[in-house]
Structure formats: structure tokens, C-alpha cells
């Protein structure tokens, strides 16, 4: 009850004062999946290096999911959502070349469950999408957003689990950001999701990543 009352106070402050709601997430890659692989040690080492602390910043109808540490954003993956214009822009890279992928924000299909658990002391409900990805969201935080490219539930998503990694909220805060406005990633080539996938396959093929040459192992994220 104490945590729920605290969240209500925070959300009222967030909406009335045009503040930024921030959620700190930890991205952790699954290692057991590759324990029997011939390259297990190398793969697991690479995956551990990819574990990171991320931040979801929400202002009104916009949000930005990015690294918490100060860095050159042109070299890091991030996801911008604008629910007013129904646009999502993901900044992703292929061999250190950055792309901006534009997607329409739609209405993802989630199957809700009665199963519950607590994250950050907040009661969360379980949901699953058509790809078998598991989400835990809080109805006590009535914001239909979430980390990375996930959204569309009747409450903020505090945890996502898929075949590759788990994204879990560690802290929820509000902070006045009067001189800071969320901005979409920029400075890279804009492509559609289909174009990005085509470029990705082409580059991997050039590297011999089709599994038939070059000794390159591909880990799909």
C-alpha cells in the first residue's frame, strides 16, 4: 500500500508539473542458451559485455529509451516513441554504421494473465505476445509504454523476457527537466524495417555469416 500511494503521488507530480518520469532498467543476456556451444566461452563473454543499464524517459506523449551513462548517442542504440504522431524511431547499427528505423505505433496483441508478482515493490501483472515474449506491467502506473520497442499494455511495462535477454526495472523516479526535452535520434540514414533487415542480411552474407564460410557465428538479438 505504501508503494502504491507513493506512485500515485509521483504520477500526480509528473502530470501536473510536466516532469520527466524515468525508469532505470537492467538488460541481462541469457547465457545458458549457449552453454553447450563450441564457442560457449567466447559467446558468453561477448554477451556479458553487452549487459547494460538503460533509462526510459517519459514526457507527456513522448519517450526515449537509451543508455544511462553519458555517451555519444550517435553510436548507441536507442528507441524514441511519439504516441501523438504514432511514430517509433529506433537507432540501430550494422558493423558500426548507424540507421534510423521508422515504424508506426500500432496496437500490439497481448494476452493478459491473472498471474502477478512484484517488481520494485510494485504489483505487476503478466502478459504474453504472439512471439512468446513475457511482459510484466503495473496497472498502478497507467502509462502504456515500456522499455525498448515494447508498449501497448494497460500500465507501464517493468519487465520483458524473450529468448535472448531479460529487461527488468530497478528504479522508478521523477525528475524536473525544465531545460531538457526528449528528442528523437537523428544524424543517421533513415530506412524502413524491411530495408534494414535487407541491409543486415546483405552485410552478414558478405562476412560469410550464412554459416557456410568465414567461421562467423551469428547471435540474433
Contact present, 90 and 149 (Cβ < 8 Å): yes
Residue spans per domain, the chain: 2-106+167-206
Q: Kindly report, residue by residue over 45-88, the tens digit of the pLDDT.
A: 666 666 679 999 999 899 999 998 755 444 568 999 999 999 99
pLDDT at 211: 41
Return d(Cα 163, Cα 7) in angstroms, integer.
31
Average pLDDT, rounded, for the chain: 80
Backbone angles phi, psi at 38, to 5 degrees: -60, -25
What is the rounded radius of gyration, in angstroms, for the C-alpha atoms of the chain? 19
Q: Are strands 78-82 and 87-94 parallel, antiparallel or unpaired?
A: antiparallel
Amino acid at each position: 500500500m505504501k508503494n502504491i500511494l507513493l506512485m500515485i503521488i509521483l504520477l500526480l507530480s509528473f502530470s501536473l508539473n510536466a516532469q520527466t518520469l524515468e525508469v532505470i532498467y537492467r538488460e541481462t543476456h541469457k547465457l545458458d542458451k549457449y552453454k553447450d556451444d563450441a564457442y560457449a566461452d567466447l559467446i558468453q563473454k561477448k554477451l556479458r559485455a553487452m549487459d547494460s543499464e538503460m533509462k526510459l524517459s517519459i514526457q507527456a506523449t513522448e519517450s526515449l529509451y537509451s543508455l544511462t551513462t553519458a555517451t555519444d548517442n550517435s553510436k548507441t542504440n536507442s528507441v524514441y516513441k511519439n504516441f501523438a504522431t504514432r511514430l517509433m524511431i529506433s537507432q540501430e547499427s550494422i558493423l558500426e554504421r548507424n540507421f534510423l528505423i521508422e515504424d508506426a505505433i500500432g496496437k500490439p496483441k497481448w494476452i493478459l494473465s491473472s498471474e502477478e508478482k512484484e517488481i520494485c515493490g510494485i504489483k505487476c501483472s503478466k502478459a504474453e505476445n504472439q512471439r512468446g515474449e513475457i511482459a510484466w506491467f503495473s496497472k498502478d502506473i497507467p502509462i502504456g509504454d515500456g522499455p525498448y520497442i515494447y508498449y501497448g499494455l494497460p500500465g507501464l511495462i517493468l519487465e520483458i523476457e524473450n529468448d535472448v535477454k531479460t529487461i527488468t526495472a530497478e528504479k522508478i523516479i521523477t525528475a524536473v527537466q525544465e531545460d531538457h526535452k526528449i528528442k528523437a535520434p537523428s544524424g543517421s540514414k533513415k530506412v524502413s524495417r524491411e530495408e534494414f533487415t535487407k541491409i543486415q542480411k546483405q552485410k552478414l552474407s558478405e562476412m560469410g555469416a550464412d554459416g557456410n564460410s568465414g567461421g562467423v557465428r551469428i547471435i540474433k538479438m
